[in-house]
C-alpha cells in the first residue's frame, strides 16, 4: 500500500464530508467480498474517477481512475495498525474556507506530482 494522499478537492470534500484520504495498491491486490460494493461516477473529475462505496452502510471505500492499474483505498476503512504515513496534500488550492491546510512540511500538489508518491 502506498502512503496516504490527502485530497482537498471539492469532490472529496463532498464525498467524505471533510477530506479525501487515500492509499493505493494495484487493483489485482484488492479482493472485494460480498455484493455490497456500489460505484458512482465522479462527475467533475478531470481524470474520470469513479467512487466505490458500501451499499449497506454508505461508507466511502474505493476510488478508481479508468487509466490506472491502481485502486485507491479510503484509509479510514483500514484496520489499525496500517503502517502508513501521509505523503502529501492534493488540491490544497481547493480547500474549504474552514480548512487550514496544515503547514506540516509535506509536499503539495505540483511538488507531490513530481515525487515518487504520485496520485494513482
Residues lying near Zn ion in the complex (CB under 5 A) are found at: 7, 9, 12, 20
Q: State the minimum distance, in angstroms, from the CB of residue 31 to Zn ion.
A: 25
- Would you say 6 or 36 has its CB closer to Zn ion? 6
DSSP-assigned letters across all residues of 4-43: EEEE--HHHHHHHSS-EEEEEEEGGG----SS-EEEEE-T
Q: State the minimum distance, in angstroms, from the CB of residue 18 to Zn ion.
A: 11
105 sits in the region (left: phi over 0; alpha: psi -120 to 50; else beta) called left
Q: State the minimum distance, in angstroms, from the CB of residue 104 to Zn ion.
A: 18
The Cα 94–Cα 113 span in angstroms is 16
Q: State the minimum distance, in angstroms, from the CB of residue 49 to Zn ion.
A: 8
- Would you say 16 or 25 has its CB closer to Zn ion? 16
Three-class DSSP category at 109: helix
- Would you say 35 or 46 has its CB closer to Zn ion? 46
- Would you say 25 or 92 has its CB closer to Zn ion? 92
Amino acid at each position: 500500500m502506498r502512503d496516504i494522499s490527502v485530497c482537498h478537492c471539492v469532490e472529496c470534500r463532498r464525498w467524505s464530508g471533510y477530506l479525501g484520504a487515500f492509499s493505493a495498491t494495484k487493483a489485482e491486490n484488492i479482493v472485494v467480498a460480498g455484493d455490497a460494493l456500489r460505484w458512482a461516477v465522479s462527475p467533475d473529475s478531470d481524470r474520470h474517477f469513479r467512487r466505490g462505496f458500501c451499499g449497506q452502510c454508505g461508507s466511502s471505500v474505493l476510488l478508481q481512475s479508468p487509466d490506472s492499474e491502481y485502486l485507491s483505498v479510503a484509509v479510514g476503512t483500514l484496520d489499525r495498525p496500517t503502517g502508513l504515513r501521509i505523503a502529501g496534500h492534493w488540491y490544497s488550492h481547493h480547500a474549504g474556507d474552514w480548512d487550514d491546510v496544515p503547514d506540516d512540511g509535506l509536499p503539495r500538489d505540483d511538488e507531490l506530482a513530481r515525487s515518487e508518491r504520485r496520485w494513482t
